[in-house]
Structures are given as structure tokens and as C-alpha cells.
Amino acid sequence: MPRVAVILGTRPEIIKLAGVIDGLGQDAVVIHTGQHYDDALSQVFLDSLGLPKPQHQLHLGALSRAEQIGRGTAEVATRLDQIAPDAVIVQGDTNSALAGALAASCTGYPLIHVEAGLRSYDRAMPEEHNRVLVDHLADLLAAPTQTAVANLGREGIAGNHVLCSGNTVIEAVGRQLPNAARRRALLATLGLRPARYVLATIHRPENTDDPSVLARILDELAALPMPVLLPLHPRTLAAASQAGLAAKLGRLQVIEPVDGADFLALTAESALVVSDSGGVQEEVTVLGLPLVVVRRSTERPEALAHFATLVGPEGITRAAMAYLVAGEPLRHRLAATPSPYGDGTASQTIVREVRNRYCSRAVELAG
């Protein structure tokens, strides 16, 4: 019987690999690294997606980046030798993905990188180092767009090793997005009206580690002329508490982190989104919404063509107001603009390639 080890550890990995895990069915053996150890950022997403409990659970969440990668590599390698998979799948650019890739390399199992080829060309981003290393270790690279394929080509990675699969975010959104009635019911519990609030998420170190930067972001959000809903990431909460920014948080509508379905519901019903998340940059292209990206660089330039604007902390209010002034005509135009991330068949494409390339021999032996 073929076995494919799927290594994940964070909310984005869980969401984006759900379709791949489903497609592999009983052939998938999931290793959860525990990089996101808060239930609000991990277990709740497994539950909401109807995914089975991971067969292997590690506990790397409370460790430093170096420890997550180093210890993660050793512990995942041990699990891989126990499983003896036909192939190993990692996704994205997390510490879990790099640890899984290094473990696969050390143990000699073929490695598939889902969402390969993303580049910000910002060496200050730890994720940039992770994604480059994983790409150069991978045997099969599932690139979401032709831009990502071209990025890989410039680094000498081309040919049969590279598959332009589309991005699994398309089917992930379709899988999770609640219907209109459920979305409106959620808004009612929060006292919000459709298209009459801004949804914000802030969690990246570049925006939370410096108290002055975080204070500026909170001030810019509070200056907007409608309610700002802020599901508060644990890192942001800790940073704001340590910096004495509770009063600034009090000017926003702060809620605890929500599961994937509720977050998509809140996104779909908002007037616009302000975020430093990579995944949100993709999700808004599926939902047809404008986004203010609060980052110095992005590895997802495709979203900037129609859906998003890249700004620093001091540009949030100005960029958001431009979108709000554009109003309904902008929303109609974005709703009619196809997502640059594919047609919703990425998971199927990846599963088919993995089975054809790495699992056919196992099936023959089993037969």
C-alpha cells in the first residue's frame, strides 16, 4: 500500500493541504509539527475542515526558529524512517516546511513542495530563506503560477521537476466559505453590517516587534471611518500588552482568533481587508475584495495587479480610504476579475502527479 507523508504545522498549511490530504485518502500519513501550538490557530482548523487527527504529533511550538528547524528535522526524520513513505509533501515557507524538507533529504525520500517558486527577494524575511532552501531540496515543485515557474527557472530549476499546478487556495476557499445566511448570522453576533466594516489582521514580526510600528498601525486603523474588526493573533496581543498599547486596541473591535470558515465569512462580508498575511493576499482574489497589504515586500505579486496595494504602516489610512471611496463599482469590478491562482483543480493535479510519479511502484508491489 502506498504511503505519502504530509508534514504540516501551521494554519495556512492545514488549510492549503486539506484538499491534498483528502485526495490521498488512506495513503496520507500526517505529521503535525506543533509549530502552531495554540488550539485557536491549529486544532480548530483541523476540526473545521473535517480532517482526521494527525497520526504523528510533535511539539515544536514553544521553541525558537533555530530549534524548530533543528529539532524538527531530527524528529521528522525519525518519523519518516518509521513510516517509510513513497514520498514526502511539504507546503509553503514555514519552519515546519523546511524541517520536513531537510528530514526528507536526510532520509532519502522524494520531496514534493506545494506552493513552490514564491519569491519576495527580501532577505530580511525568514520565510524567504525557508522557501528557497525547500525549493532547492525538492524533487517535484508544484508552482502555483507562471510567475513562480519563472522564478524557479532563474535559479536553474526547470523541466520535468516543475509543475504549474495552480494554488490550492482556490479549492480551500470554496471548501470553507459559509453560505450567505451563515455569514450574515455571524455578523449579527458581532453587531456588524455587510460592507460596513474593515477586517484587519496583523501578526508579522516586522509589524509587531517594534512598539512604535505597532502603535502606528493601530492608530492608522483607528482613523478609518467605519468599525475595524481585529481578530487578535497571540503574537500581536503579547506585543501590544508588553508595549502598553491596550488603549489603542480599545479603539478597535478586537475579537479572539476565529476558525478558517468564520474568517472567510468575515472577509467576504467586509468592505475591505487590511493585513500582513500571505494567505489573505490569495484569498481576496477568490472573494473579489480589495486588500491593503501592510508589508515592505511580498512574494505574491500577482495579487497586486488588481486586488491589493502594498504599503508601510504610515500608508494604511490613505490606501484604505482610496478603496472605500471607490465603493461598489470597485467591488463589482473585482468580483468579475478571475483569480490569478488557477481554476480550483490544484489539489487534484498534485495528487495525480504524486501517485503517478512515486506511488505506482508501491501499488504494483501490493498487487
Mean pLDDT of 132-143: 98
Grid cell of 269 as nine digits: 462580508
Burial class (CB in 10 A: 0-12, 13-18, 19+), 295: buried
What lies within 8 Å, CB to CB, of 166 at 6+ separation is 144, 145, 341, 342, 343, 344, 345, 346, 349
pLDDT tops 70 at residue 151: yes
Strand order in the sheet with 28-32: 56-57, 28-32, 4-8, 87-91, 111-114, 140-143, 162-164
Beta pairing partners, 273: 199, 291
Grid cell of 6 as nine digits: 504530509
Mean pLDDT of 57-82: 95
- Point out the residues that are catalytic: 203
pLDDT in tens, 341-353: 999 999 999 999 9
- pTM over 0.75? The answer is yes
pLDDT tops 70 at residue 309: yes
Mean pLDDT of 31-42: 72
Do 202 and 275 touch, CB atoms closer than 8 A?
Answer: yes
Q: For the chain, state the CA radius of gyration.
A: 20
pLDDT in tens, 248-276: 999 999 999 998 899 999 999 999 999 99
pLDDT tops 80 at residue 206: yes
Average predicted confidence (pLDDT) for the chain = 94
Distance CA 230, CA 221 (A): 10
Q: Band the pLDDT of 298: cuts 50, 70, 90.
A: very high
Secondary structure (DSSP) of 249-310: HTTSEEE----HHHHHHHHHHSSEEEE--HHHHHHHHHHT--EEEESS--S-GGGGGTTEEE
Domains contained in the chain, CATH given: 4-168+344-366 (3.40.50.2000), 179-335 (3.40.50.2000)
